[in-house]
Structure 1
């Protein structure tokens, strides 16, 4: 199914950004919120925001005209979802609000309409309990800010049909996003990793090892710099899994169980799978690609440094 008619339920910061992306991706998007007045005000805000983005070169020329044509504020949720093929729910991150909204949406929508919930951490199986025909329901977790961050996590439940996931993935790719299918668990992948880092960063500050500004400087200029281009497994395979294992031994000696080496990592090193230098690691990168990968990495880091120098420091930081 090629999706061309969408309802966006929740027109705030995230919901509005999602609506912009999907409209610019070729669909007609009806906005709905707690009232028609809120939806109409959101439409005006999103159009004005698009004008600023165009002036700043963040949106392509002509984007605002497209949004004026394809974004349509609705007077009610029921009106918005009436003929929608796909419904994106982005109401506040509250179980009660989301459950009530999803029950209302799914009760008014076409039986075949796909419903995607944008939630940061609530398990999708919990939200599915309030959805009529939950086989057409899945989590669709956008990143903030929605117009500019590529990844979107797709989180089906055991009941979600393959057709619903496939159609949602095709919609997102058409809108220029990078959908990634992950399993249903609190926080999914992105926020589980992000909040684990944040907790350890706060602990570093609490222990007096560095100030918040110093932590941010280290992260953004060290491993965070690399993470702009590669995920943790690619970085680990390039660095050497034996190096990682030895580092964990030092960390565990000081910090205990929370930084013990993962058993899978230890087993991999014991088997001689050390990453790029041994021709096998978590990602099984072909040894024939090793030289080209390292050359790409080096060029990419130089290009990223040049971009950062061009942009200058973030205002106020």
Structure 2
């Protein structure tokens, strides 16, 4: 059985022994669009994190039986074509929850305490020149007692909520926009945004959530609020957010995702230089332990598929 890993570099030199014991493992650090067919030739199983497999490509891979997505999102696979061709697609869910939760609060903690600015001042010898034992140049805000609004209350949103509560924050679960019924324990979307001291986004990107946080909805936030997005780029209108940050209409934003990745030269958030934005390059998921869990679960998906009991099935 030939197993082809198309973008091994995304697994950060993880131990792939559990995969190599399952067949002939062929690793490619990167695969561009022109190389997909060549790299996948004669493969029984293809593992892809972000390499796109469209309908035309899938029809030219007659040996392909299983696609293992090395992630939760499957938007890089033409699922309809895979289903029509009898190709099983499996993903991995939940593997990165602890890592993403940690990153969420790392972004928020840095913003609320202005650690990034204080650290830079220390590096520039400003503390050494201080006339007292500390520096109090930038505001420091506690999370305790604040309204922590979560949009997207799946397993990840719930895990974030538990940590927010441990900090002493009041967790508020935002209902879907335009919902006719408000579920128990949730607050209407617009009302939740008006209440938010922190807005933490954990929903998938789809037609309903694309640019959901736009001029109209972001204007509902308080000038003291923070926005954290460790979900997907495209959920927040990036150009509008830059305007809002530039005008100090909110206190700050922490983003780990952009609408197009890697970051493009013309991306508004990538170009923004204000101190009230912290941008990281889609690393929230990538703790060593998280990647180890990912590889282990991919191996389990292959074993289960071979045993006729496919797991984490998408199609």
TM-score w.r.t. the length of structure 1 is 0.30
Considering Cα pairs closer than 8 Å and 6+ residues apart, tell me whether 1 or 2 has the greater RCO: 2
TM-score w.r.t. the length of structure 2 is 0.30
